[in-house]
């Protein structure tokens, strides 16, 4: 008899009502892959665009249904492909797998290439490990590969209390940059301050330009936009001439292109090299992910509604068996 698992999948692209618990086949692994029994899955801001069919259309994927979302998670290795020699059965691991052809992480099991997997270091919990990869490598790619942030440089980080932002401020701090963090609401400001960042403002209520001057900033070498609004162009005009502004693709509105500022959109694509770099930050205790709320696997609809509401850090799903609640 074929082994099955529970997943919260969609039968068509659309709104949050498309999610349903389903019994599905456990994915089979090839010789370069690992099968992970998941404890937790991270929820990304980009999951909404994926659920609505945005990536499918943009990349011409011609996706098959039922379709399992989710691009990151953590759990225990239960099976290993024959070419894999860097892991063992029962290793506790975290993994990333964006648009995974064998199905995403909103499920009891996921099959991923071993290059996208890391053992969980003692510096973070199983839950924290489930949410760190997607936002971590997106933040790291922006800060190091696009902005080339150096010790002593000044950087403004917009959306500093969000998923990518709260990891980006910690990486920037460990690089030794001078940071101005634009967070969201009082709990967001508190979170960013808890990472030892002094120059923080609530972007919803404060004057972002005036406050930067009051902290002693007259120019920023670098800017990372993990969140944007209509006032971003005035900020760039005031502080960024001759500097570089980076934003992950999907951040909207995009800043207006200018001849006197390098404005770069980029993708947070996972690969072995950047995953290893991110892992070193985690192992060294330089990144502590924050989880605002954890939802059960049967509450993914609710979790996706929460994505458009205010929260700080990340959201996660706890995977547990719900055999009696399956909708066939």
Contacts (Cβ under 8 Å, ≥6 apart) of 206: none
DSSP 265: E
Same domain, 259 and 139: yes
Same domain, 111 and 144: no
Q: Would you state the pLDDT for residue 328?
A: 39
Per-residue pLDDT of 233-261, as tens digits, reads 999 999 999 999 999 988 888 999 999 99
Listed range (76-80, 111-115, 229-233) with the worst mean pLDDT: 229-233
Per the DSSP assignment, residues forming a β-bridge with 174 are none
Q: Count of domains in the chain? A: 2
Same domain, 201 and 308: no
Tokens of residue 111, six digits: 């099959």
The yes-or-no verdict on residue 324 having pLDDT over 90 is: no
Same domain, 109 and 21: yes
DSSP per-residue letters across 167-226:
HHHHHHHHHT-EEEEEESHHHHHHHHHHTT---EEETTTS-HHHHHHHTT-S--SEEEES
- Give the pTM: 0.93
Q: What's the average model confidence in pLDDT over 146-161?
A: 98
Taking the C-alpha atoms of residue 156 and residue 159, their distance in angstroms, rounded to an integer, is 10
Q: Are 209 and 142 in contact (CB under 8 A)?
A: no
Q: Would you state the pLDDT for residue 270?
A: 85
- Host domain of residue 117: 4-124+290-325
Q: Are 9 and 67 in contact (CB under 8 A)?
A: yes
Taking the C-alpha atoms of residue 143 and residue 62, their distance in angstroms, rounded to an integer, is 33
Count of Cβ atoms closer than 10 Å to residue 76 Cβ: 15
């Amino acid at each position: 008899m074929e082994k099955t698992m529970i997943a919260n999948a969609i039968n068509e692209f659309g709104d949050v009502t498309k999610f349903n618990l389903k019994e599905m086949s456990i994915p089979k692994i090839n010789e370069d892959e690992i099968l992970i029994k998941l404890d937790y899955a991270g929820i990304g801001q980009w999951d909404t665009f994926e659920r609505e069919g945005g990536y499918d259309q943009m990349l011409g994927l011609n996706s098959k249904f039922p379709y399992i979302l989710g691009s990151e998670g953590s759990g225990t290795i239960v099976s290993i492909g024959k070419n894999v020699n860097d892991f063992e059965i029962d290793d506790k691991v975290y993994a990333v797998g964006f648009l995974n052809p064998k199905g995403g992480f909103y499920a009891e099991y996921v099959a991923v290439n071993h290059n996208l997997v890391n053992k969980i270091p003692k510096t973070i919990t199983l839950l924290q490990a489930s949410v760190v990869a997607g936002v971590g490598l997106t933040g790291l790619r922006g800060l190091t590969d696009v902005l080339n942030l150096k010790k002593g440089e000044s950087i403004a980080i917009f959306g500093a209390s969000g998923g990518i932002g709260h990891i980006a401020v910690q990486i920037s701090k460990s690089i030794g940059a001078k940071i101005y963090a634009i967070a969201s609401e009082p709990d967001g400001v508190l979170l960013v301050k808890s990472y030892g960042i002094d120059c923080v403002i609530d972007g919803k209520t404060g004057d972002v330009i005036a406050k930067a001057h009051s902290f002693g900033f007259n120019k920023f070498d670098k800017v990372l936009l993990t969140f944007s609004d209509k006032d971003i162009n005035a900020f760039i005009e005031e502080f960024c001439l001759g500097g570089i502004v980076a934003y992950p693709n999907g951040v909207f509105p995009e800043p207006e292109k200018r001849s006197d500022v390098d404005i770069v959109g980029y993708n947070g694509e996972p690969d072995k090299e950047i995953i290893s770099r991110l892992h070193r930050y985690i192992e060294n205790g330089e990144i502590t992910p924050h989880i605002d709320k954890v939802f059960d696997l049967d509450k993914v609809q609710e979790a996706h509604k929460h994505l458009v509401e205010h929260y700080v850090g990340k959201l996660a799903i706890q995977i547990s068996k719900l055999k009696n609640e399956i909708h066939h």
